Amino acid sequence: MLGQISPTEEAILEKALITTYSLKGITMEDDSVDGKEIPLMKDLYSVLETMDGASGLVNRLEKYVFGVFSGVFSQPTNVNLKEGLVVFSVRDLDDILRPIAMYILLNYVWNVARSSEKKRFLVVDEAWNIMQYEDSAKFLFGLVKRARKYGLGVTTITQDVEDFMGSSYGKAIVTNSSIQLLLNNHPPRLMSYNEFLNSPNKKNIFCLMLRSEQDYSLLVVSM
C-alpha cells in the first residue's frame, strides 16, 4: 500500500498508529474495543498530517482516503464476522488492491486460527498475488512455518512455479510443504524447481513424474 518505507518513516507510522487508536480510547494498556469507535484510515491520515517528516506517507495514503480507493479502506466494515459462514470476494477488486485485500484477509484468518486451537484447513489460491511483494511473501512464509502449531493445514496454489522459485520466501514455503504437486508445466518452467529439488539439503522420499505430449506433471513428497 505504501511501498518501501524508510526506518524513519516506519517509526513515524508506528507513533501515528498508537496516537490514532489512543484518540479513540484504545491504548496498549486498554485494548478493548467494546463500545468504542474504531478508527478509520482517514483518522490515521489526519494524525500524520500533524507530524513532522510524514509528508511522504501522507501523499501515499491520500488515494486510499480521498481518492478512487477511499470506499474500500476508509469506511467502517459492513461485514458481520460472527456469522456461521463468511465469504470474502476479491474477484472484482482492482489489480492494485487485490494483494492488499488478500493480505488483510489472510491476517484475519491467521488471527482466528490462533485464537482457538482446532483442526482447520486454509487454501491460498492465486498465491502469486501475495508472493509478488517481499513483505506479504514474508508474512505468508511465517504463517506456513507456524501453522501446524495451531492445528492449521495450509495449501498454496499458483499458476507458475517461478512465483515461488523466484523468491527466497517462496523457496522456504516449498521447503516446508510436505507435498508438492506441479501440473502441466513446460520443461523450461521446471528448470529452477529441478535445481531446487536436487539441492543437497532437500530430502525427498517419493517423486513421480508424468509426461504428456509436451508438458510434465510432478508429484513430490518430502521429509
- Give me the amino acid identity at 76: P
CA-based max dimension of the chain: 65
Digit-coded pLDDT (tens) for 124-149: 888 888 888 888 899 999 999 999 88
Residue 54 has pLDDT above 60, yes or no: yes
pTM of the model: 0.71
User: What mean pLDDT is reported for the chain?
Assistant: 80
First to last CA, the chain: 37
How would you class 178 by CB atoms within 10 Å of its CB: exposed for 0-12, middle for 13-18, buried for 19 or more?
A: exposed
Residue 1 has pLDDT above 80, yes or no: no
Digit-coded pLDDT (tens) for 190-207: 555 666 566 555 555 445
Residue 74 is predicted with a pLDDT of: 78
| Alpha carbons 19 and 10: distance in angstroms, whole number | 14
Using pLDDT thresholds of 50, 70 and 90, give the confidence band for residue 223. Answer: very low
Average pLDDT over residues 28-34: 84
Residue 20 has pLDDT above 90, yes or no: yes
Measure CA 167 to chain center: 14
| Residue that has been written with the C-alpha cell 520443461 in this structure | 187
- Give me the amino acid identity at 91: R
Query: Which range has the top average pLDDT, 42-51, 121-130, 170-179, 200-209?
Result: 42-51
Lowest average pLDDT, out of 19-28, 129-138, 171-180, goes to 171-180
| Alpha carbons 202 and 209: distance in angstroms, whole number | 17
Task: Tell me the β-bridge partners of 217.
Answer: 210
Residue 8 is predicted with a pLDDT of: 93
| Alpha carbons 78 and 88: distance in angstroms, whole number | 12
Domains and CATH numbers, the chain: 1-78 (1.10.8.730)
Average pLDDT over residues 71-93: 79
